[in-house]
Each structure stands twice: as C-alpha cells, then as structure tokens.
C-alpha cells in the first residue's frame, strides 16, 4: 500500500519506497531525452523544448506505471511528465551567456 497504517500521530505514513521504480524509469527517459537532444544538436539542427517534449512523450507511450494496481499516467499527466523532462534537458544544456 502506498500509504501504510496510521502512525502514532494518527496520520497516514507516506511510503516513498514505492515510488523508486517510477523515479528510476523517469531517469531513463531523462537520459534518452538528453542523448537525443545532444545528437540533434551535433547534427547542426535546432530542437526546442516543445519538439523534445513530443519526442519524450512518444518514448513514454507504452509506459504504464501503477501503484497499488492503479494507473498513474493518463494522457494529460504523460504529456506533463514529458514536458517536465524536456524542460530539464533544455535548461541543463542551455548556454550561459
């Protein structure tokens, strides 16, 4: 269960260890996005965050993470996750001027 039994303060305890597989997979998507972005840039092409976001979303298309047998990604959430990853890559690789 994502939330375990109530603790001594009578509040549900958050079990963040259940999120590790999903966080690791997001890290894999981040690496894939970074590799793709670098490859496109090395080829002399420009890629903005929106184009990279579409690439990441396509890579995530078959990923269906679950927690307690509940699906965690709907289309809007998948799109937001892809945009988040693309934004990290673009900000990380941005030239300091």
Q: Compute the distance between CA of residue 88 and CA of residue 33 in angstroms, rounded to an integer.
A: 10
pLDDT value at 1 more than 70: no
For residue 82, being part of any structural domain is answered with yes
Tokens encoding 33: 């996005």
62 located within any domain: yes
Q: Find the helix or strand (DSSP H, E) in which 33 lies.
A: helix 20-42
On whether residue 7 sits in a domain, the answer given is no
> Would 3 be classed as within a structural domain?
no
In a domain, 4, yes or no: no
50-81 tens-digit pLDDT: 999 999 999 999 999 998 888 999 999 999 99
Two tokens, residue 19: 């999120």
More confident residue, 11 or 78: 78
Q: Which of 10-19, 37-46, 84-93 has the lowest mean pLDDT?
A: 10-19
* pTM confidence score: 0.82
Q: Tell me how many domains the chain contains.
A: 1
Task: Answer yes or no: is 27 within a domain.
Answer: yes
Residue numbers of the domain that contains 52: 18-93
């Amino acid at each position: 269960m994502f939330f375990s039994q109530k603790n001594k303060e009578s509040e549900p305890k958050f079990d963040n260890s259940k999120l590790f597989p999903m966080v690791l997979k997001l890290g894999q998507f981040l690496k894939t996005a970074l590799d793709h972005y670098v490859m496109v840039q090395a080829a002399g092409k420009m890629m903005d965050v929106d184009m990279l976001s579409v690439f990441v979303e396509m890579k995530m298309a078959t990923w269906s993470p679950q927690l307690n047998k509940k699906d965690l990604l709907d289309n809007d959430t998948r799109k937001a996750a892809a945009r988040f990853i693309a934004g990290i890559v673009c900000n990380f690789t941005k030239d300091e001027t």
